[in-house]
Amino acid sequence: MTTLSDMSSPTKKPMTYANTGVDIGAGDRLVGLIQSMMKRTHSPRVLGDHGGFAGMFRLDFNEKLFKRNYKDPVLVACTDGVGTKVKLACELEIYDTVGIDCVAMNVNDMIVQGAEPLIFLDYLGLHRQDPETTAAIVSGVAKGCIQSNCALIGGECAEMPDIYAEGDFDIAGFAVGVVELDRAIDPSRVEPGDVIIGLPSSGVHSNGFTLARAAIADLDLNSIYPELETNKTLGEVLLQPTRIYVEPIIKLLKQYTVKKVVSGMAHITGGGIGGNVRRCLCEAVDATIDLNAWEVPAIFNFLQEHGNIESSEMFHVFNMGIGYVLIVRPAFADSIATHLKDEGEEPIVLGTITKGSGNVHLIDGDSASCN
């Protein structure tokens, strides 16, 4: 009978997984570093410890409360990543912010449906496992989950030296939330007269970085530029984490559980304000947005100048300072704005909804464009 030990050649150096580029031991060390980070995101609804084959989350931990809030609960799921913003993180060796971005890109999409985030899982693909670097990335994921009031219940870290170049990695996430069916946000509810309210972004967020990186390719990421109106370096400005809008939006929706005063919402990502607002309209209405309603942050003017990018392209690619949009009933617009201000937000009235055919009109003085 032939055994595994009999099959190795005495003339060749024994091959191992580690010397082909995958270190299982490093993965085990990583688990020890991130367990406490994950537990900080957990509530009693999370069952079991990290390290199993799958995470478990109890939907009705407080049964009476759950039944009072949800009679017809619907699970809402989404997945997203950070894109080429990770290239800047690698170049600057700043790893603790892109995890926040990863959570934000998912949960900000989720709350557009009116859903409350429950759980999050992440995926990391990288060239080689460095436990400390990977733990820094996961620390950002944990911070994002805490900001979103959702539990980080698992993830995957794949070491693939044949796929990723030295020092490179990618990160993506998957989120699950819940919404009561009759409180889910439905584009068919948007009607003429509704008011469009915008919430500021924290910067570029996590879209358009291939263009942004090209625009500043000849600049020093570690330098401070007066045009940016901050004492932060260019790299720090670009790596500013994506804002997470979960807390103010969920609090707002819970404030108006009887009256459906929010008719639509949009997370402003790739496609800009025009492309994303259009996604939350029905075919019977148009949105008109005044581009002079807010001051575009300095980073966007900086990118436009150094990349020689036309304004139409800027508004098509970047959020331009507005990270999230609500469409609300006109009778409640003032009270909603007041509520958001009480939560520390700076709501901006951007425009209105009119009869139309599902288009967004961006008005800049006497000129207009249609998305």
CATH number, domain of 296, equals: 3.90.650.10
pLDDT tens digits, 106-123? 999 999 999 999 999 999
Residues 143 and 199 in one domain: no
Average pLDDT over residues 44-48: 85
pLDDT tens digits, 50-81? 667 888 988 876 777 777 778 899 999 999 99
Q: What is the CATH number of the domain that holds 153?
A: 3.30.1330.10
Residues 84 and 224 in one domain: no
Residues 162 and 90 in one domain: yes
Predicted confidence at residue 322, as pLDDT, reads: 98
Predicted confidence at residue 266, as pLDDT, reads: 98
Q: How many domains does the chain have?
A: 2
Least confident segment among 50-64, 241-255, 325-339 = 50-64
Residues 240 and 355 in one domain: yes
Q: Rounded distance, CA 185 to CA 282, Å?
A: 12
Predicted confidence at residue 31, as pLDDT, reads: 73
Residues 160 and 197 in one domain: no
pLDDT tens digits, 184-200? 999 999 999 999 999 99
Domain assignment of residue 225, yes or no: yes
Q: Rounded distance, CA 77 to CA 107, Å?
A: 9
Q: Rounded distance, CA 287 to CA 144, Å?
A: 32
pTM of the entire predicted model: 0.92
Q: Which residues pair with 369 in a beta bridge?
A: 362
Examine the fold and report which residue of 181, 197, 231 is the final residue of a domain before the chain moves on. Answer: 181
Quote the Cα angle for 167-170-173, to 5°: 150
Residues 357 and 298 in one domain: yes
What's the domain range around 232? Answer: 187-370
**Alpha helices (H) along the chain:** 24-39, 63-69, 85-92, 98-111, 131-148, 209-215, 234-238, 246-255, 272-278, 298-307, 311-317, 333-342
CA 275 to chain centre: 17
Instruction: Quickly tell me which residue has 């993965």 as its tokens.
Output: 27
